[in-house]
Amino acid sequence: MDKKEHPVVKKKKLTPDKCIVTGKGEWYYPLSDIYETPDNFTILIDMPGVGADNITVDMQNNELIVNGEISQEAYTDEKVLYNEYNIGHYHRHFILSDAINREKIEAKMSDGILTVTLPKAEHVKPRKIEVKEA
Amino acid sequence: MNLIRWESTDPLESFTHIQREMSDLIDFLSSTPKIEGYVGAEFPQVVVSINKNSVIVRAEIPGIKVNDLDVQVSEDILSIKGERKPNVSDETVTYLRRERNFGTFARSVMLPEKVDAEKVAASYKNGVLTITLPKAAEKKPKQITIQKS
């Protein structure tokens, strides 16, 4: 009998090679919703604990990069007895197509939710073509 | 007469092999598909911490109106109830991706110490609910003087 043990094989995790976040602290992927209206696409991202000042929304090439940093000073002088969630920074990125008017992207933050509004470019908006009587 | 050669030097080695196989099997059976986010988890997720004077309970509940939250303390139980409502209705928009959940929630946390229910303070900032519960006076250590007879 061959006694050689098989090594534990794990699926290799591919790290996103484009925007590796460096710095202190843990980074998490926040949950997000994306919905479409006739004029816009909207991305909603849950980032509890992040204030409007600590969010950066960047456009790099085709990527919309969202980083939210959290301050961890609140836990000083406290002993944590029970912990269900970890505190960490948030990072998420989205690849945008040409259907978005990049000049008019807007972002706002309220109660831990970041709302990014991505207006559709003129050429993808539904357009009604009038039928003329000949 | 046939002689059977004892391959393994340690007779217990086969047991360790069985043990390993069993633990692999248990790992396999107990590995439920990983559920992301709030689904299946208690919502809201809480952190209970303690400092010199009070017990602090934090909960991450992004995007809720303060009026939709109900926080109650009775004896040593803290209960948080509420409803998380989407700010757009399904009919007006087309969802392309949905990870966030909505609906009513309720949960209770047993407090590690007796607290003064009258002085409980709660605040909601950036989607995090923080409840500060001052410890009851009787729980604070009382110095006892020893009399020499």
Compute the Cα dihedral for A38, A106, A98, B101 and give only its sign. Answer: negative
CATH classification (class only), A27-124: mainly beta
Cβ within 8 Å, pair A31-B37: yes
Higher pLDDT, residue A60 or B141: A60
In this predicted structure, the answer to whether residue A107 has a pLDDT above a threshold of 90 is yes
| pLDDT for A119 beyond 90 | yes
For chain B, domains (ranges, CATH) are 52-89+100-138 (2.60.40.790)
| pLDDT band at residue A15 using 50, 70 and 90 as cut-offs | very low
Q: Using CA atoms, how far apart are residues A115 and A43, in angstroms rounded to an integer?
A: 6
More confident position, A35 or B12: A35
Interface residue A85 vs chain B (CB under 8 A): yes
Domain boundaries, chain A: 27-124
- Note the pLDDT tens digit of each residue in B125-147: 999 999 999 988 775 677 788 88
Report pLDDT digits (tens) over B13-61. 777 778 888 888 887 777 655 544 444 457 788 889 998 888 999 998 9
* Among the partner residues B36, B112, B126, nearest to A81 by beta-carbon distance: B112
For residue A110, which residues of chain B lie inside 8 Å, CB to CB? 63
Q: CB A78 to CB B49 under 8 A?
A: yes
Residues of B in contact with A51 (CB under 8 A): 126
> Quick check: pTM over 0.80?
no
Task: State whether residue A54 sits within 8 Å of chain B by CB.
Answer: no
SS3 (DSSP) at B32: coil
Residue from the list B46, B62, B93 with its beta carbon closest to the beta carbon of A37: B93
Query: What stretches of B2-144 adopt beta strand conformation (E)?
Result: 46-50, 54-60, 69-74, 77-84, 94-97, 103-110, 121-125, 128-134
The reply to whether A8 touches chain B by the CB within 8 Å rule is no
Task: Specify the pLDDT at position A23.
Answer: 63
Residue of B nearest to A51 (CA): B126
B133: left (phi over 0), alpha (psi -120 to 50) or beta: beta
Name the residue in chain A with its Cα closest to that of B7. A1
Q: What tokens does B44 get?
A: 């809201």
Q: How far apart are CA B46 and CA B111, in angstroms?
A: 12
